[in-house]
Amino acid sequence: MTSKTKYALLQHQDQLEFVEMPATHMYQLAALNQRLHKELEKLTVPGIPALPHFIAEFQGLEIVKPGYELQQGLAYINRLEQTFAALQAQEKQYPLVSLLTEIRALQAQLEQWYEEEEELA
């Protein structure tokens, strides 16, 4: 846990998820989550993904209850990208290109951030 990272609390129905993000990119995760929720209702394919809601962000986090795991931000964004990329072939009414572009932009930024962190270590 460093000051370079922040933690997001995401909620899907009664389930909680914790995501570790670079502090410099946390606002992008929050904005992306808000945009995806806004755009989900426009999708026409069956099986629209259920996305968690961004609830809060924290400077420090210690998970004390068993059963909860901390997800790395890049892993979370990679799964999000895969979910929306899978919809692209089926969705005929709503162009997913802009949503995928936003997801992939954050994905690329996170990949670069983690590479730079590895080089510094």
Instruction: Tell me the pLDDT tens digit for each residue of 2-22.
Output: 579 999 999 998 999 999 999
Q: Which domain holds residue 79?
A: 5-120
102-120 confidence digits (pLDDT tens): 999 999 999 999 999 888 8
Element of type H or E holding 80: helix 73-88
pTM as predicted: 0.90
Q: How many domains does the chain have?
A: 1
For residue 9, count other CB atoms closer than 10 A to its CB: 16
